[in-house]
């Protein structure tokens, strides 16, 4: 279902871009941000990892460790939008980040550096994830790897800047702390699910 949803989203975005260009030829600014993260993100896809790693203990994490991931802090995206509008700029820009190759391992370990409760990562295979239909936010299977390999040099050259990853992590977690104490994340694994899957993974090894 998630893969079908992604296909629908991509198709609809393309149709919207074409409709805008047909209505206003040569006067359209198109930004393609991918995954938007940061404070006030209602999806919890980025926030899940911060909350989970802050809790410490053994964390079920997706392999391959060195798979590239991409996302952009909403505040960086907004600043770029305002810059382009102020310049009355048109054209198409890929606007995700960061401006270096960030891997899954680097992202999760950066979270681990920031939070006091140190987590231990257990890296499970893609096969294990797909066969057990595990919901791990941000992660995508290899067949969708291109989603996280987007070239954003054009936007960067035009003025797109990125704040440090640590700032996005801290600010997002600080915002999450203001939510109701009984708030339940919309995505990711529940503690009991994670424990069952970790046990299953070890039994298979």
Q: Which domains does the chain have, with CATH numbers?
A: 29-204 (3.40.50.720)
What's the pLDDT at 7?
Answer: 38
Select from 75, 58, 64 the least CA-distant residue to 127: 64
Query: How far apart are the C-alpha atoms of 132 and 46, rounded to whole Å?
Result: 22
The angle subtended at Cα 137 by Cα 132 and Cα 82, nearest 5°, is: 160
For the ranges 29-38, 153-162, 194-203, which has the lowest average pLDDT?
Answer: 29-38
On average, the pLDDT of the chain sits at 90
Question: CA 73, 100, 3, 128 torsion: positive or negative?
Answer: negative
Q: Which 3 state secondary structure label does DSSP give 201?
A: helix
**pTM attached to this predicted model:** 0.88
pLDDT of residue 26: 73
φ, ψ of residue 66 to 5 degrees: the values are: -100, 15
pLDDT of residue 11: 57
SS (H, E, C) 7-22: HHHHHHHHHHHHHHHH
pLDDT tens figures, 74-126: 999 999 999 999 999 989 999 999 999 999 999 999 999 999 888 999 999 99
pLDDT digits (tens, 9 = 90+) for 165-195: 999 999 999 999 999 999 999 999 999 999 9
Question: What pLDDT, on the 0 to 100 scale, is given for residue 5?
Answer: 36
Q: What's the whole-number mean pLDDT along residues 70-74?
A: 97
Q: Is the pLDDT of residue 13 over 80?
A: no
Neighbours of 101 (CB within 10 A): 12
* First-last CA distance in the chain: 29
């Amino acid at each position: 279902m998630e893969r079908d949803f992604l296909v629908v989203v991509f198709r609809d975005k393309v149709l919207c871009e074409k409709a805008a260009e047909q209505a206003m030829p040569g006067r359209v600014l198109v930004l393609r941000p991918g995954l938007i993260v940061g404070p006030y993100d209602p999806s919890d896809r980025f926030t899940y990892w911060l909350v989970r790693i802050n809790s410490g203990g053994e964390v079920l994490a997706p392999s391959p460790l060195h798979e590239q991931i991409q996302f952009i802090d909403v505040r960086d995206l907004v600043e770029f939008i305002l810059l382009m509008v102020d310049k009355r700029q048109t054209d198409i820009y890929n606007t995700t980040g960061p401006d270096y190759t960030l891997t899954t391992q680097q992202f999760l370990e950066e979270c681990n550096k920031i939070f006091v409760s140190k987590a231990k990562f257990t890296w499970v295979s893609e096969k294990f994830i797909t066969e057990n239909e595990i919901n791990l936010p941000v992660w995508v299977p290899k067949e969708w790897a291109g989603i996280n390999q987007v070239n954003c040099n054009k936007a960067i050259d035009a003025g797109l800047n990125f704040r440090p990853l640590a700032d996005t992590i801290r600010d997002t977690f600080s915002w999450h702390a203001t939510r109701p104490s009984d708030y339940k994340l919309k995505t990711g694994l529940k503690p009991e699910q994670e424990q069952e899957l970790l046990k299953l993974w070890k039994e298979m090894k």
